Amino acid sequence: MRFLHTADWHLGRIFHGLHLTEDQAYVLNELVALAVEAKVDAILIAGDIYDRAVPPTQAVNLLDETLSLLIQKHNIPVIMIAGNHDNPARLGFGKKLLAESRLFIYGTPVLGTQPVILEDKTGPVYFAPFTYTEPPEAAVLSGETISLHEDALAWQLRDMAPFIPAQARKVALAHVFLTGSEESPDSERPLSIGGTTTVSADYFKSFNYTALGHLHACQQAGNTIRYSGSLLKYSFNEVNQTKGIHIVDLDASGNCSVETIFLKPRHELAVLKGTFADLLNKPQLEAQTNYLQIILEDDAPILDAKYRLESVYPHILHLEYTRLQAATKDTNTTSAQRKLGPLELFSAFFQQVTERSLTEPEQALLQETVNALDTA
């Protein structure tokens, strides 16, 4: 059996004020094309389908269009679970009816959750969906004392075990933070505040493959326990990451081979550093189509810097000054960081606008004006 593993779509994401729906639609069309070309037997989506509990209409429509393409047009079944960004009840609305169309949604955790069984030429494959579950939810459902995410997962495994034959080929879907994995703190929401949120990879050792979501970097804990990573780069800290999907082949004996295919986004993310003059007068042409974070290394603020740089780089999402930020953070040298007075502020402003310094007579006149205002 061949299936595609993806996760962390975060539909409806707003990134530095920019709605990413068009970018997400672009890369999802690419994902659908890859699935069709690879002739996959199923699509697995391991949580965080939406970016927030109440997604915008555009995000809901995009999910509807994508699932319709996969299931109705290309006859590819889809199995998806809720992540910590999703509202499980909303995501799971109509799940019994939709299952008849081979859209299998696992939102709110329930007792006695059963796997999805898909057949290939050599027999059944059991897909075990472990939807994201907070420890208090698991405690109420199980009647056990559960305070950790690891305990919640252990209970879910025990709850589903009776429905999966011991020698069956089996694939897990889970939205968890594996111990020792790499996180992207600016891109991922913590699973909880306080407590231990990580789980051991040992819980998934009995599965032939484990399709994980939550962490946005493509990574693995051995060949058969993998994160696909997020659909797009959702933080400038992720500029060096490559985003993609896994195509997994499961043979008759339960052995897996995995191919990672990287996606080509509508706009890449990039970070440019330099002085304002260098970035403006020596443009980096390859960055002009990218979504950019600009880090200016000038000693003083530049008037209308973002607006002026946009004539060269039209997709600037964030601009900051590295030296000014460093000075602000140095709280131990406040005596050396004297506050600029009106004369100095206006002098800097005048020089930026006119590209010349104030003459001595102009400085004297300005000083007289400032003094008059102070005594008024």
Do 194 and 300 lie in one domain? The reply is no
For the chain, residues with pLDDT lower than 50 are 192-195, 331-338
* pLDDT of res. 308: 94
* pLDDT of res. 161: 95
Do 225 and 292 lie in one domain? The reply is no
229, 262, 295 — which closes off a domain?
A: 262
Domain of 359?
269-375
* pLDDT of res. 342: 75
Q: Is 275 exposed, middle or buried (0-12, 13-18, 19+ CB in 10 A)?
A: middle
* pLDDT of res. 334: 45
Do 275 and 257 lie in one domain? The reply is no
Task: Give the Cα separation of 67 and 315 in Å (integer).
Answer: 30
Q: DSSP secondary-structure letter at 167?
A: T
Do 227 and 284 lie in one domain? The reply is no
Number of separate domains in the chain: 2
Q: Are 270 and 285 in contact (CB under 8 A)?
A: no
* pLDDT of res. 354: 65
Q: Is 115 exposed, middle or buried (0-12, 13-18, 19+ CB in 10 A)?
A: buried
* pLDDT of res. 343: 75
207, 237, 262 — which closes off a domain?
A: 262
* pLDDT of res. 92: 87
Do 184 and 232 lie in one domain? The reply is yes
Task: Give the Cα separation of 293 and 186 in Å (integer).
Answer: 14
* pLDDT of res. 190: 57
CATH classification of the domain holding 152: 3.60.21.10
Query: What size, in residues, is the chain?
Result: 376
Do 185 and 227 lie in one domain? The reply is yes
- Which residues make Cβ contacts (< 8 Å) with residue 100, sequence separation at least 6? none
Secondary structure (3-state) at 195: coil
227, 262, 297 — which closes off a domain?
A: 262
* pLDDT of res. 370: 78
